[in-house]
Amino acid sequence: MNDYRKDIYKKYANDFKGAKNFIDTKEIDDYWPTFNYLFRGWLPQDKDSSIVDLGCGNGTILRMLKHKAGYQNVIGVDMSESQVEQARQHLENIELDNAIDYLKQSENKFDLIFAIDIIEHLNKQEVLDFISLCYKNLRKGGRLILQTPNATSPFQGDIRYGDFTHELAFTPNLLSQLLKRSGFNDIETRESGPIPFGYSIKSSIRYVLWKIICLIYKFITIIEVGSSQNSIFSRVFVQSAIKK
């Protein structure tokens, strides 16, 4: 692993995420409506399912899974000491490790792997290794959920270049190709934008306006290339894939 990563990730939460020293769980819990909408239909029905969140950060996803969705068999992994310290303030089962190294050494088989905002921090070979290892560490029928900056978005530059540790950016089509290459099926892509209901009236209004903006960008694409090749324009997107 490159030395610059080791240096930056020690205090990543404070230097790059603007995080406080102490976790405000009330603030984290406000994310629940977004989580519930964004990952709808993708979570296992069995509450005893084995779930790992790679690059868990301050534990937001894990908290949603455990305290809101009712899953108890959850593990978090992050290579940033400051992120792990924050997550451990309100959660157990947080391990300090590099995601790739963890997957290489893991003897677990997971029903669901979350990898939110992690693959953009990897180089090309690491991305290929990471996806293959995720496939290997899933049970048959298990699901991988990824979130990453959207290289197709007109606004992606602010996300892509807003973090010094970002190495790559992906389009939904490219990420789908890489997932299929490793054996994944049933790939589904969703934008990560305003949610239409369950959060606030303001969010619902933003959702309607955002859909109008997306139609404009689709129209521009049709004018340029003769067809609409993409319908995901949000700055980041989420993608789900199944191990058959």
DSSP one-letter string for 136-171: HHEEEEEEEEEEEEBTTSTTTHHHHTSSTT----B-
The answer to whether residue 54 sits within a structural domain is yes
pLDDT exceeds 90 at position 113: yes
The answer to whether residue 205 sits within a structural domain is no
**What strands, in cross-sheet order, belong to the sheet with 51-54?**
94-96, 74-78, 51-54, 110-116, 138-149, 236-242, 185-191
Share of the chain above pLDDT 90, in %: 70
Region 49-58: mean pLDDT is 96
Task: Give the predicted TM-score (pTM) of the model.
Answer: 0.91
Provide the CATH number for the domain around residue 132: 3.40.50.150
DSSP element (H, E) containing 78: strand 74-78
The answer to whether residue 222 sits within a structural domain is no
For the stretch 176-225, pLDDT in tens is: 999 999 999 999 999 998 999 878 899 999 999 999 999 998 888 888 87
The answer to whether residue 218 sits within a structural domain is no
For the stretch 121-169, pLDDT in tens is: 999 999 999 999 999 999 999 999 999 999 999 888 888 888 888 999 9
The answer to whether residue 130 sits within a structural domain is yes
The answer to whether residue 175 sits within a structural domain is yes
The answer to whether residue 204 sits within a structural domain is no
pLDDT class of 226 with cuts at 50, 70, 90 = confident
* Count: domains in the chain: 1
Q: Is 143 exposed, middle or buried (0-12, 13-18, 19+ CB in 10 A)?
A: buried
Which structural domain range is residue 164 located in?
3-199+232-242
pLDDT of amino acid 36: 94
For the stretch 81-97, pLDDT in tens is: 888 999 999 999 999 99
pLDDT of amino acid 18: 55
The answer to whether residue 85 sits within a structural domain is yes
